[in-house]
Amino acid sequence: MFDMNPLNLPDAQMQQLIMLFVAGTLGFIIGYVERNRTARQLEAELSTVERAVDDCQRMPAATVPGSDEDIVLNRIRTRASELDLDRIGIASLAQADDLKEISGVGPFLEKKMHAIGIYTFAQVARFTPEDVDKVNDIIEFFPGRIERDNWVGQAQAFVNRK
């Protein structure tokens, strides 16, 4: 009668080898893509953990007597070296402007700015976008707030008035 056994076809073994090759190739491609995706995820997690470890190592010991404000200011002081003060400008407390005149800067925020070496309007006016991001990160301020309040523009206006 009618026998439909695919293994009896003359090129059955060739078809099986082709299917095996295609399946192996697809498996390799899928595995390669998945491995790369997993590696990217793990690298992102690793960088996050490394930043957390660096932050912990920079943080002064919690046993230091003082208020919460002192602890925060000490933590910020330890990161002051991350700023390029040679380009921004170096100033001292004796040369300090009243940074609270900038909209969005209060007394504690002014102390944080002083802790990283920012004392004058001229220094704030020289901030680049990278400096703004770095200062924002160091002083632990709301992301994007420096741009929204236009600290650089306000500082330039105060410098021009002097």
Q: What is the DSSP string of 49-80?
A: HHHHHHHHHHSPPTTS-S-HHHHHHHHHHTTG
- 114 pLDDT exceeds 80? yes
Helix count and strand count (H, E) for the chain: 8, 0
45 and 100 inside one domain: no
155: tokens are 């500082």
pLDDT confidence bin for 25, thresholds 50/70/90: very high
Closest CA to 142 of 130, 133, 152, 154: 133
Alpha-carbon gap, residue 80 to 114, rounded angstroms: 10
90 and 117 inside one domain: yes
- Predicted TM-score (pTM) of the model is 0.57
- 11 pLDDT exceeds 80? yes
Q: Give residue-wise pLDDT tens across range 35-61.
A: 999 999 999 999 989 888 887 777 665
Domain that holds residue 129: 68-161
42: tokens are 């793990």
pLDDT (mean) for 103-117: 90
- Any residues with CB less than 8 A from the CB of 148 and at least 6 apart, and which? 104
76 and 30 inside one domain: no
Q: What per-residue confidence (pLDDT) applies to 65?
A: 53
How far the first Cα of the chain sits from its last, in Å, is 107
Does residue 63 belong to any structural domain of this protein?
no
Residue whose tokens read 């299917």? 19
- Any residues with CB less than 8 A from the CB of 122 and at least 6 apart, and which? 89, 91, 155, 159
Does residue 7 belong to any structural domain of this protein?
no
Closest CA to 97 of 162, 13, 34, 23: 162
Does residue 128 belong to any structural domain of this protein?
yes
- Any residues with CB less than 8 A from the CB of 31 and at least 6 apart, and which? none
Q: What per-residue confidence (pLDDT) applies to 61?
A: 54
156 and 86 inside one domain: yes
Alpha-carbon gap, residue 139 to 61, rounded angstroms: 19
49 and 114 inside one domain: no
- Give the chain's domain count: 2
